[in-house]
Amino acid sequence: MTPADLVIRDAEAADIAAVRALLVETWHATYDGIYGWRRVAEITNAWHSLENLHSQLGCEEGVFLVGLLGEQIVATASARSERDGAALLTRLYVLPAWQGVGIGRTLLQVALACFPLAPVARLEVESQNEPAIAFYERMGFFLQRQARFDGRDDTPNTLLMAKRLFVE
């Protein structure tokens, strides 16, 4: 059950520091046991820098959403349209203290609704992130294949998952 006072909106420049803090906290909680604190810090410093996050605001081909409870940003999601018309979920994170109450489910639904013509949704998930894999399976995603992110050996093992969307 999602908290009744959850607000989901487009991310704004003023949100970037809070989104980065959310991503750093969530990544450490999720991946320290897999990669170690140092490697997680390296990844979050590269992928979730203030500059990188700021550059993602207002992209015409995608969405960058935040979920708020009161004034606190408790979740974020990003997605973009692929060349074949698919919706690619590039980020979905909920602060650990707020996981399991429906915020991720609601944020995922809102993010995918931003692509009403997409025949399919796709995502990549770390192959050892069992809670996330189980979450996406509950949301109707299925395994397509396993790969390395961007084909590089120094990045996480990923599972490529997909979900058929219903286009009218």
Please write the tens of the pLDDT for every residue from 92-134.
999 999 999 999 999 999 999 999 999 999 999 998 899 999 9
Supply the pTM of this predicted model. 0.89
Q: For residues 30 and 23, what is the distance between their CA atoms, to the nearest angstrom?
A: 10
Please write the tens of the pLDDT for every residue from 18-55.
999 999 999 999 999 988 999 999 999 999 999 999 99
Please write the tens of the pLDDT for every residue from 61-78.
799 999 999 999 999 999
Question: What's residue 24's pLDDT?
Answer: 96
Q: Spell out where 12-141 has E strands.
A: 62-69, 72-81, 87-94, 120-126
Average pLDDT, the chain: 90
Q: Under the phi-then-psi rule, with left for phi > 0, alpha for psi from -120 to 50, and beta for the rest, what region is 104?
A: alpha
Instruction: Name the architecture of domain 6-164.
Output: 3-Layer(aba) Sandwich (3.40)
Please write the tens of the pLDDT for every residue from 103-114.
999 999 999 999
Phi/psi of residue 76, each to 5°? Answer: -150, 150
